[in-house]
Amino acid sequence: MFTGIVTDLGRVRSVEARGDARFTLATAYAVEEIALGASIACNGCCLTVTETGRDADGTGWFAVDASAETLSKTTLGAWGEGTPVNLERALRLGDELGGHFVLGHVDGVAEVLDRAAEGDSWRFGFRAPADLRRFIAPKGSIVLDGVSLTVNEVDGERFGVNIIPHTYEVTAFRALGAGDRVNLEVDALARYVARLLDRE
């Protein structure tokens, strides 16, 4: 369980393809405190830590594996050396819930349509996958690349979000442009409500 509040901007330092894929990510986290088997949301995708270490220069890192299924349903298959990755460690009892309940289970991939400065913030427009549009509503919650956001407007396949300066500076949003793809997780409550209505 996560909150969608990014706590570190890591970078992919290596990718090893073995049918599945093994990613090693540089991080500012205290890797000595990360247990093997711990969950870390990487651009919104919950992955299991399989190894940690620290280089001679002091740079910490951790490794995760991604299955072929994960690679096919997320943007992870496009990761390469140097790719910036939004990171969040799993929620612990007593932690502040600053975003909303996030599962780390990516539902699909959205495409960046455009971005524009709006005051000190940035307005991003996205194209939602057809099967997920019914779960996206104005003023509702959504997770894009692991960031908990509020939907500003919805118009058919298009929806927009506002990225405040702090979020823009501490996440990989500043590197996104038209045509880029992001992992999308819809609000779990919206999914369950839709499921209940389908049964009626």
Q: Which CATH number fits domain 8-89: 2.60.420.10, 3.40.50.1100, 2.40.30.20, 3.40.50.300?
A: 2.40.30.20
* The pLDDT of residue 196: 62
pLDDT tens track of the chain, all 200 residues?
898 999 999 999 999 987 789 999 999 999 999 999 999 999 999 999 999 999 999 999 999 999 999 999 999 999 999 999 999 999 776 566 665 678 899 999 999 999 999 999 999 999 999 999 999 999 999 999 999 999 999 999 999 999 999 999 999 999 999 999 999 999 877 666 666 666 55
Separation between Cα atoms, residue 44 and residue 129, nearest integer Å: 17
User: Domain-by-domain residue ranges, the chain?
Assistant: 8-89, 108-199
* The pLDDT of residue 65: 97
Residue 44 falls in which region: left (phi positive, over 0), alpha (psi -120 to 50) or beta: left
CATH 3.30.420.40, applies to 108-199: no
List Cβ neighbours of 137 (8 Å cut-off, separation of 6 or more). 151, 154, 190
